[in-house]
Amino acid sequence: MGNTPTQIITRFAPSPTGDLHIGSARTALFNWLLARRHGGKFLLRIEDTDFERSTPEATKSILSGLSWLGIDWDGEPISQRSLQTRHKQVVTQLLDSDKAYKCFSTKEEILENRESAKKSGNSTLFKSPWRNADKSQHPNEPYSVRLKTPEHEILKINDKVQGEVSWNNNQLDDMILLRSDGTPTYMLAVVVDDHDMGVTHIIRGDDHLSNAGRQKLIYQALGWPVPIFAHIPLIHGEDGKKLSKRHGALDINSYAEMGYIPEGVINYLCRLGWSHGDDEIFTTSQAKSWFNLENIGKGPARLDLKKMEFVNKQHMSTVSYKLIEKYFDQYLINIREKELSTSQKLLLNSSFGFLKNKIKTFSDLLEQIRFIRVDRPIDINDEKLNILVINNKNLLKDLTPLLQNVNWTRDELEILLLDFSSSHNIKFGELARPIRIILSGKSHTPSIIDMMTVLGREETLSRFDDFC
């Protein structure tokens, strides 16, 4: 990575105006992975200077989303709002060193200046008349503070993803550092905070690329080292257009409620714009040992929910059952479903061996284990299903004594049911349908043999008795 600092320090700096967006989650993930791979620090800063839109609830939701993913941070989260005194100190420092100046131009004057330039066909870039004004001429009026952008220079940044990017300083105005109401701007606050936090690497969306150039000017004016920038392409929808609500869930909490597991989401987010050879499915530990900036792609990644489900399915079939049980308990709480009883948990444990390769999310699992969670006597809401059971009562009565004496293993049950259907001149499916309804109340379930094996002889026969 070239002249890499002795300790890598990254940060994630969300605005607490809503839940943790999937794009923001990926940004946090990449910063976290880079820090963890190199034994560095991953810091969290809440950019809560938007007093009208920032809420404690949004902050809590963002932290919850990060925690659910397993993304931990070093130290306590920092509130940008609490650092405004420090931001103003830096502005004073820039004024004292003549790197910035007080601008008394009003909004109306700036607008009038731009309209006049537009009509005459000139550049609408605002050039403040106060840039080189004698301080003795300063009126006793409100003012903003602007940075003195070096003129006639080429501004360059060497981005780890985008490569070399340059701007002509003549095309840049003197950006505002401090507003006329005394509040620092985002541009200034970000630079000061990143410097004071010791941030060495900044990974963020490429919609901030132009900000990087402007922020470099502030770093240079203060004589501070410039962090290493890596601006990653934004996530698009499957149609290649900017990601929006029509493309599916956008916040991490929604994916948790849809039944995804953290390992699956982490894996998928990594693959949205980053690669490690041909590796498609990998653990979070592997991601932490592999992640680098060099393998981040320059093109926008596309959110593919089917692919996301596939990746999640692979992890659901491989993570420990202990984790599955923990995640599933939380999932039921999130969707306000009744928790599993102790006996139901035992049945789930017995079922998961044959279910894990069939489910993509906990939503699928919940549907597959309805036969475990159903209350007896089972109420069949579908009239057609009820009629089907009634029409097969005699058949099921004939089967019951055979089930009472069979060796209760999956193989022996399968042999018995196949022989029974053959001896009664019916297809196996014709026998399976009423049994499926009796055991679960549903027409779509795991195989009847799997359900019978899990439920055991006593519970299976008790459900037969309820209907027969």
Buried b (16+ CB within 10 A) or exposed e, 38-50: bebbbbbbbbbbe
CB 267 within 8 A of CB 25: no
Tokens 């089930």 appear where?
Answer: 403
CA distance to 16, 18, 322, per residue, from 57 (Å): 8, 8, 31
**Following DSSP, what letter does each residue of 318-357 receive, concatenated?**
TS-HHHHHHHHHHHHHHTTPPPPPHHHHHHHHHHHHHHTT
Q: What's residue 281's pLDDT?
A: 97
Domains and CATH numbers, the chain: 83-232 (3.40.50.620), 383-467 (1.10.10.350)
pLDDT of residue 5: 54
| Contact between residue 184 and residue 208 where contact means Cβ atoms under 8 Å apart | no
Helix axes 410-423, 428-440, angle to 10 degrees: 120
Q: Distance between CA atoms of 260 and 308, rounded to whole angstroms?
A: 9
Q: Strands 100-103 and 144-147: what pairing? A: antiparallel
Q: Which helix (H) or strand (E) is 57 found in, with range? A: helix 56-69
DSSP secondary structure letter of residue 224: P
Q: Which residue has the tokens 């996530």?
A: 235
Average pLDDT, the chain: 93
Q: pLDDT, tens digit, for every residue of 400-454?
A: 999 999 999 999 999 999 999 999 999 999 999 999 999 999 988 999 999 999 9
Query: In whole angstroms, what is the distance from residue 391 CA to residue 420 CA?
Result: 17
What confidence tens digit (pLDDT) does each residue in 65-121 have? 999 999 999 999 999 999 999 999 999 999 999 999 999 999 999 998 888 878 887
Residue 204 three-state SS: strand
Distance CA 49, CA 52 (A): 9
pLDDT score, position 2: 45
DSSP character string of 368-412: HTHHHHPPSSPP---HHHHHHHHHTHHHHHHHHHHHHHS--SHHH
DSSP-assigned beta bridge partners for residue 12: 44
Point out the residues of the chain with pLDDT beneath 70.
1-5, 249
Percent share of the chain, pLDDT over 70: 99
Q: Please tell me the pTM assigned to this model.
A: 0.90
Rounded CA-CA distance 130/463 in Å is 87
In whole angstroms, what is the distance from residue 27 CA to residue 210 CA?
A: 17
Distance of alpha carbon 373 from its chain centroid, rounded?
A: 31
Residues 341, 374 contacting (CB under 8 angstroms): no
Are residues 176 and 145 in contact, defined by beta-carbon separation less than 8 angstroms? Answer: yes
Residue 266 · residue 284 · CB < 8 Å: yes
Residues 6+ apart with CB under 8 A from 402: 416, 420
218, 209, 223, 215: which is closest to 159 by C-alpha? 209
